[in-house]
Chains A and B, each alone.
Chain A
Amino acid sequence: MEPTTHNILVVDDSATTRAVVKRTIALSGAAVGDVFEAGDGNAALGVIRSRKVDLVLLDLHMPGMGGVELAGILHGDPATRDIPIVVISAEPSAGRIEALKAGGVRGYVRKPFRPEQVRDVIHHFLGGGQ
């Protein structure tokens, strides 16, 4: 029997950050299936509405649709509101982070992050690890 795998969507306008997060996911030891990438909120919505996504790692500040707007859309849609969203951002405002959590965001990792922080998020929401 195949082990259960989970798919992760990495949303960040920086290709470098997406690559770092993807490598961290690969090193995490978690049973991860597909890792999708999106450079903004609109692209992320396209992925979420066409693929099975089990965790969204979300930057806030992006051109076009940013992370705040995307989180609001996902939280307001019964079809997507249960997908965990963890913000990975350099957002300096604690108040804004608390507001995001009140609006459905489940976690926050501040940039620059240590790879272990992202690994721990993945293990927390998707299980697994060694």
Chain B
Amino acid sequence: MQTIVDISDAKVSADPADTLVTYSLGSCIGVAVYDPAARVAGLLHCQLPTGTMDPAKAAGRPAMYADTGLAHLMKLMAARGASPRRLQVRLAGGAQMFDDGGVFSIGKRNHAAVRKALWQHGLMVAAEAVGGSSPRTMYVGVADGQVSLRTGTVTTTL
């Protein structure tokens, strides 16, 4: 079974038969978290760096922004019994899409914002695949927390 995480969305699952998947990670960042003891997985697909850009929108759609999105994901994980101390974190995305001049560098800004939010939550990163200019699809297996990335026709384990 696949549970799709849309853009500006976050979902968690404790069903070992489930795989969380998010498509079209371009400059957006996918944050995969897994608690191996509680066997709970979560996936956030955030689009922009910080909810201070539009607090009203951040309140309504917290997963749109890196900072409010991570806080939202952490709440969802805690509600399923996950512990922040056990979380394995993997990141993907942050590509430089349609921005060859690097004028906006939204991918880099998103990555920096996610990193800052993780630091504020006391979380380190087990692995990440960020940057470049290709979109990625991110899969998180709930049974074992394995994170896979697909770029074009190539699938790799993160």
Where the two chains meet, the residues of A that have a C-beta atom closer than 8 Å to any C-beta of B are 23, 27, 114-116, 119, 130
Q: Which residues of A contact B125 (CB under 8 A)?
A: 114, 116
Main secondary structure of the interface of B (DSSP, over half): loop
Q: Among residues 57 to 86 in chain B, which have CB atoms less than 8 Å away from a CB atom of chain A?
A: 86
Across the interface, A27 reaches (CB within 8 A) one of B86, B115, B122, namely: B122
B38 within 8 A of A: no
What are 12 A-B residue pairs whose CB atoms fall within 8 Å in the complex? A23-B122, A27-B122, A27-B123, A27-B124, A114-B115, A114-B125, A115-B119, A115-B124, A116-B124, A116-B125, A119-B124, A130-B86
Q: Which residues of A contact B123 (CB under 8 A)?
A: 27
Least Cβ distance of B87 to chain A in Å?
Answer: 11
Q: Which residues of B contact A119 (CB under 8 A)?
A: 124
Interface string of B112-139 (1 = CB under 8 A from A): 0001000100111100000000000000
Least Cβ distance of B81 to chain A in Å?
Answer: 18
Least Cβ distance of A128 to chain B in Å?
Answer: 14
